[in-house]
Amino acid sequence: MNTPLIDPFARPISYLRVSVTDRCDFRCVYCMAENMTFLPKAELLTLEELDRLCSTFIRLGVRKLRVTGGEPLVRKGIMTFFRTMKRHLDSGALDELTLTTNGSQLGRFAQELVDCGVRRVNVSLDTLDEAKFARITRWGRLSQVLDGIEAAQRAGLRVKINAVALKGVNEDELFEMVEWCAARDMDLTFIEVMPMGDLGEEDRIDQFWSLRDLRAQLSGTYTLHDLAERTGGPASYVRLQETGSKVGFITPLTHNFCESCNRVRVTCTGELFMCLGQEDRADLRAPLRASSDDGALERAIREAISRKPRGHDFDYSRQHVAGQVSRHMSHTGG
C-alpha cells in the first residue's frame, strides 16, 4: 500500500496543495465574487482530519506540502495544524512545509510559522498602489500586508511575491514591482489570470495580460538569463542581470506547463482535484469519516491518481474563455 503515487503519464505525485478554508479577509476580483456564499463549517475537514489526510499523502510519497485557502491564516486554530505537520519535517518524511497567503495575518503568525518549520512563504500581492490594492482586493489594506511581509522577513522567512498580471491594472507597475522586490531580496513571480468561477461583472478577457507581452517588456529594460531550476511548481524563471533578482512566470494560457505536473490539490471539504483546470474530482471526506483505518482513504487516493489527466484546457486565444471551470480559485486552493 505504500507504493509511491504515479499517474497514468508516469509522473510521480510528490507535491500536495491543501486548502484549509474557503474563507478570506479579501475579495480579490480575479478570485471571488464580491458577495461570496461560503461553505457551512460542518462541511470543512476538521484540523484532525486534515492531519490524517496529509499524513496519508506523505506516507504515499508526497515530499512537499503547501497550505492554501482562501486565506489559510484566518482559520481558527490553524497553527495547531502546522505544529502537528512539523513532525513530518522532523522525521525527514517531508522535505518542505510552505504557505501561500495574502499577507494580512503574517504580522501575527510569522514567528510561529518559523517555529513550526516553515522556511518560506508565497505572498499574493498584485500592486504597490494603495488605491489599486483596495480596488483589486475590495476589502484589503495594503499597509497591513506590507507590515506582514516585513514581519515575515524579520522572523527569517524567505518571501516570494506572487502577482497576477492584470491588463489595465498593474501593467504600469511592472518595473516598480521588479525593483521593489529586488531591493528587498524577494523573488517575484507573475501569474496569468485563470478562468475559474463566475465573477459577476468582471470579464476574464478584459483581465488577461499575456506573460509573453510582459516578458517582452522586461527584456527591453533588463538582460534576462533563463534558469533551468524548478521549485516543484509550474513556474519558469529568469535572472535579471542588472538587479541579480529572480523573476518567475506561470503561464497556464500562453504556455501549457502540464508536462511535468507533479501536484494535486485537496479542498477544505476533502475533494481531491487531480488537475487545477479540470472538473474531475474524488471525494476523500467520505472514506476519512467512514473509518479510522486509512485503507479506504489510500484506495480512494490511488484510484483518483489513476485518472489524473495529461493537462488542462484553459484557452483565451479566440477572444473567448475556453476551458473555464465552474469553481472559484478560493474553493480549490490558491
115 pLDDT tier (thresholds 50, 70, 90): very high
Distance of CA 72 to the CA centre of its chain: 11
DSSP letter for 4, please.
P
Q: What is the average per-residue pLDDT within 108-131?
A: 97
The cell for 97 is 512545509
Given a cut of 70, whether residue 199 has pLDDT beyond it is no
Rounded percentage of the chain residues whose pLDDT exceeds 70: 85
Look at residue 37 in the predicted model and tell me its pLDDT: 85
Cα-Cα-Cα-Cα dihedral sign, residues 265, 271, 273, 276: negative
From the number of C-beta atoms within 10 Å of its C-beta (0-12, 13-18, 19+), residue 295 rates as: exposed
Q: Which residues of 190-223 are buried (b: 16+ CB within 10 A; e: fewer)?
A: bbbbbbbbebeeeebeebbbbbeebbeebeeebe
120 or 317, which is more confident: 120
How many domains is the chain partitioned into structurally?
Answer: 1
At 36, the amino acid letter reads M
Given a cut of 90, whether residue 276 has pLDDT beyond it is no
User: The domain containing residue 109 runs over which residues?
Assistant: 15-332
Q: Residue 241: how many CA atoms within 13 Å on its side-chain side?
A: 8
Q: Which residues pair with 123 in a beta bridge?
A: 101, 161
Q: What is the average per-residue pLDDT within 261-288?
A: 92
- Bridge pairing between strands 263-266 and 187-192: unpaired
Please report, for the domain that includes residue 165, its CATH number. 3.20.20.70
Look at residue 195 in the predicted model and tell me its pLDDT: 60
Q: How far is CA 61 from CA 15, 56, 307, in A?
A: 9, 9, 18
Q: What is the average per-residue pLDDT within 213-236?
A: 87
* Rounded-to-integer distance, Cα 274 and Cα 290, Å: 22
Q: What is the average per-residue pLDDT within 228-255?
A: 81
Q: What is the average per-residue pLDDT within 95-122?
A: 98
Look at residue 253 in the predicted model and tell me its pLDDT: 54
The per-residue pLDDT of the chain, averaged, comes to 88
At 149, the amino acid letter reads I
Look at residue 32 in the predicted model and tell me its pLDDT: 82
* Residue at 57 is within a domain: yes
Q: 133 near 112, Cβ under 8 Å?
A: no
* Residue at 28 is within a domain: yes
Q: How many residues does the chain have?
A: 334
Look at residue 314 in the predicted model and tell me its pLDDT: 47
Look at residue 257 in the predicted model and tell me its pLDDT: 54
Q: 137 near 164, Cβ under 8 Å?
A: no
**299 contact partners, CB below 8 Å, separation of at least 6:** 287
Q: How far is CA 291 from CA 103, 133, 179, in A?
A: 37, 46, 53
* Residue at 5 is within a domain: no
* Residue at 151 is within a domain: yes
pTM above 0.85, yes or no: yes
Under DSSP, is residue 272 helix (H, G, I), strand (E, B) or coil?
Answer: strand
Look at residue 229 in the predicted model and tell me its pLDDT: 79
* Residue at 4 is within a domain: no
* Across 19-23, 143-147, 207-211, 297-301, least confident range: 207-211
Q: What is the average per-residue pLDDT within 24-53?
A: 91
The cell for 132 is 489599486
Q: What is the average per-residue pLDDT within 93-101?
A: 98
Residue with the three cell numbers 517575484: 188
- Of 227, 313, 240, nearest to 275 by C-alpha is 313
What is the helix (H) or strand (E) element at residue 163, kind and residue range?
strand 158-165
Residue with the three cell numbers 497550505: 67
Residue 180: Cβ within 10 Å count: 15
Q: What is the DSSP string of 283-309?
A: E-HHHHHH-SSSHHHHHHHHHHHTT--
Q: What is the pLDDT of residues 130-188, one digit of tens each?
A: 999 999 999 889 999 999 999 999 999 999 999 999 999 999 999 999 999 999 999 99
Q: What is the average per-residue pLDDT within 233-237?
A: 79
